[in-house]
Each structure stands twice: as C-alpha cells, then as structure tokens.
Amino acid sequence: MSHFDNLHSLTSSITAVTSPLRQYLHELHSKYHPLTDGVVANYIPELALADPALFGIAVVTTDGQIFEVGDSTTLFTSQAISKAFVYGLALEDHGRDYITSKVGLEATGEAFNAILLDEKNNRPYNPMVNGGAIAITNLIKGQHPTERLKRILDMFKRYTGHSHDISMPVFLSEKATGHRNRAMAFLMLNVGIVSDNLEETLDLYFQQCSILVTARDLAMMGATLANGGVNPITQERAIDAQYVQDVISVMLTCGMYNYSGEWACRVGIPAKSGVGGGITAVVPGQLGIGTFSPLLDDKGNSIRGIKVYQDLSKDFGLHLFNATRCDRDLNAWTKGSPVDARS
Ligand code: GLN
C-alpha cells in the first residue's frame, strides 16, 4: 500500500475535524455555489454534458495537509491544465534552450485556440496556447505512441500519487471535432515546427487533455510544484527541480488564456485553467489549490473558480507581489489536523 493509499484509508475513517481554513472554504463554497453565470464548454460535444452545478475546492499544503469542500473528488478532464505539466516533461526531455527555440515564452493576448504563429521566430508564442501545446506534445519522447502516452500518465501519477484514466468519450469527441487544432498542426507542419506524424501527435494531445482528474488532484499537483517538484504526501519527485520555476512562470504569464494579465494583477497566483472547468494554482513554498466548476466565461475560465481565487488571494494575502503582510496569518488558519481536515 502506498503512502497515498494509507492517507486515503486513514482519512476515510476520520470524523469531521474543524479547522479555520476548512470552515473558510465552506463559506467560500456556499458564497459562490449559487452563482450560475457562464456556460459549460460545448465546442467539444462531450464536454457539453457536464453538470453545471458541480463545484469543488481543494487546498493542499506543502507539508501535506488536505482541505477540501464540495465536489472535490469528482472526476473531470484536465484539458489545457495538462499543457503546463507536459511542458515540464518536455523540458526534462530536451532542456530549456532547445524547447525555447521551438516554442516561445510570450503571451499572445489572443484566445487559446487562435490560429497564430510568431512568424519572425518561426514558433508558436508560448506552450499554453493550443499551437504551442501541440508542438510541445510533439516533442515528448517515446519509441511508439503507447510509450509516449504512458510517460505522460506516469508523470501525472508522480504529481498526484495515484494512477489516472483517460475519458474515452471526451478523447473521441475531440478527435472527431478538433479540426481547428488539426488546422493549427498542419500550419506548423508547413513551416517545419512539428514532425509529420501529425495524427499521432494530435491523438496524444487530445489524450493528455482527456486525462481524468479531481480538484483534489489539481491541488496536489499545484502543491507538488509549490514544494519544489516533490509530492508532499508520497515524497516522490515529479519533475526535475531545475524546471519547476519554468513551469510556474509560464503559468503566471500565460496560464489563464487571454485573461492572464488581468489575473496576474487581480489574483497574482500562478495558475492554469482548462475548459473542463478546472483551475490549478501554485503558491510557491506554501500551497497548491485546485478548483472545479464547469461554468465558463467567454475566455474559457471557470467563473466560480476565478471568484474563489480572488477571495483566497485577498483574504490570505497570497498575491505573489504582495509586499505587505496580511492580517490573517495562513499558518494559524491551517491548524486543526496534522493529517486531514475534510468534512
Ligand atoms: N483540448 C482543448 C483544446 O485543445 C484544450 C483547451 C483548453 O482547455 N483551453 O481545445
């Protein structure tokens, strides 16, 4: 039994332990659950079936405490959140200089699926837009498609502490309808940015986007990055320490699509969003946060998720560039249970 399984069996038998942070998250959940603005993603037909009422929040500290409320263990597809983590794997495979020569690091201010290339440098603008993410997936090493997919799934497992499945319906749905991504891939093939095994690369990209995760997983993935790349529960290293900063930086500059600049000002927590309704975030040295609510704004970000992060950032002074100490000391708020603080 792994350390993580141990935690699960232990926590499932623990009765409610109240901590101030858990209570705070409950209040946040109650405050924003009634918000029904936005729409579920529908350009991938299978995603249109998502239940708009679902709403989960999870926080994992770098010392391994888990706080969660609502639908924090409901599975949904990672979608673009996978891009940040696959970027880390590509950095491990090829190193920073090579990867940056293939995919830039500048925000576009355009939608994530814009058909757009940095023609001066002959590369996609960044690894978080679809073109950049497809080019990054193209670079993931492996002898054959199964090995490449397995390397991505193993990487997810290192971050979360457990194995992951792929939603076959979502994968097939996007494979059947993802013509815009296909067009972007062909454009990149035309200028030599991706290799000619396009369908294989697109399949792998659609599969990484279809990996099933929970809000708790997203918080654990964020906490692993916050903890220098080591999962705070299993103590397994998920990513080479030298690339943790690269992944977190690109989350801050490009992780929230064409809302990234405003997010950096208003929230100031490096984060990555996906059209499945998830957002994962990293407070370096302190926390990972995961939210799930499939109602999206017109840029593709979870509306309830944004609200949660705005409140967390303000109430705990989590903005990366907050130079003044906040009144509320986070350490005091996380006290309550050394192991778990779920309901
Ligand atoms: N699979 C989605 C796509 O390629 C991911 C986009 C997203 O979550 N923003 O369109």
The CATH number of the domain holding residue 103 is 3.40.710.10
Q: Which residues of the chain have pLDDT under 50?
A: 1-16, 343
Cα 324 to Cα 282, 286, 317, 328: the distances in Å are 19, 17, 8, 12
End residue of a domain, out of 148, 176, 209: 209
Q: Are residues 74 and 122 in the same domain?
A: no
- The answer to whether 29 and 70 are in contact (CB under 8 A) is yes
Please give the residue range of the domain that contains residue 96.
81-209
Distance from Cα 214 to the centre of ligand 1, integer Å: 17
Pocket of ligand 1, candidates 78, 207, 209, 302: which has the most ligand atoms within 8 Å of its Cβ, to mutate?
Answer: 209
User: What gap in Å lies between CA 48 and CA 39, rounded to an integer?
Assistant: 9
Summarised one tens digit per residue, pLDDT across range 48-76 is 999 999 999 999 999 999 999 999 999 99
Pocket of ligand 1 (CB under 6 A): 79-80, 112-113, 130, 174, 181, 209, 274-275, 300
Q: Which residues contact 274 (CB under 8 A, 6 or more apart)?
A: 77, 78, 79, 80, 81, 82, 209
Distance from Cα 279 to the centre of ligand 1, integer Å: 13
Whether 1 is in a domain gets the answer no
Q: In the structure encoding, which two tokens stand for residue 89, read together?
A: 């794997």
The H-or-E segment that residue 290 falls in is: strand 287-292
pLDDT at 1: 36
Phi-psi region of 268 (alpha: psi -120 to 50; beta: other; left: phi over 0): left
DSSP state of 76: E
Distance from Cα 128 to the centre of ligand 1, integer Å: 10
Provide the Cα torsion 246, 277, 80, 178; round to 10°: -170
Q: Are residues 62 and 122 in the same domain?
A: no
CA triple 48-51-57, angle to 5 deg: 120
Indicate the number of domains in the chain.
Answer: 2
How many residues make up the chain in this entry?
Answer: 343
Whether 2 is in a domain gets the answer no
DSSP state of 57: E
- Three-state DSSP at 317 gives coil
User: What gap in Å lies between CA 250 and CA 301, rounded to an integer?
Assistant: 17
Handedness of CA 108, 113, 116, 122 (dihedral sign): positive
Residue 242 phi, psi dihedral angles, 5° rounding? -70, -15
Q: Which residues contact 262 (CB under 8 A, 6 or more apart)?
A: none
Q: Which residues contact 130 (CB under 8 A, 6 or more apart)?
A: 80, 112, 113, 180, 181, 184
For the chain, what percentages of helix, strand and coil (3-state, to nearest 5) are there? 50, 10, 40
Q: Which residues contact 169 (CB under 8 A, 6 or more apart)?
A: 46
Q: Are residues 299 and 224 in the same domain?
A: yes
Q: Are residues 296 and 316 in the same domain?
A: yes
The residue whose CA has the least distance to atom 2 of ligand 1 is: 79
End residue of a domain, out of 170, 186, 209: 209
Q: Are residues 219 and 168 in the same domain?
A: no
Cα 205 to Cα 105, 117, 190, 245: the distances in Å are 20, 18, 19, 23
Which residue, among 83, 92, 80, has the nearest Cα to 243 in the 3D structure? 92
The H-or-E segment that residue 66 falls in is: strand 66-70
Q: Which atom of ligand 1 is nearest to the CA of 181?
A: 4
Q: Which residues contact 15 (CB under 8 A, 6 or more apart)?
A: none
Distance from Cα 80 to the centre of ligand 1, integer Å: 5
Q: Are residues 333 and 262 in the same domain?
A: yes
User: What gap in Å lies between CA 233 and CA 65, rounded to an integer?
Assistant: 8
Whether 202 is in a domain gets the answer yes
Q: Which atom of ligand 1 is nearest to the CA of 133?
A: 4
Q: Are residues 171 and 188 in the same domain?
A: yes
Provide the Cα torsion 220, 340, 53, 75; round to 10°: 40
Residue 239 phi, psi dihedral angles, 5° rounding? -150, 145
Identity at 317, one-letter amino acid code? G
End residue of a domain, out of 158, 180, 209: 209
Whether 66 is in a domain gets the answer yes
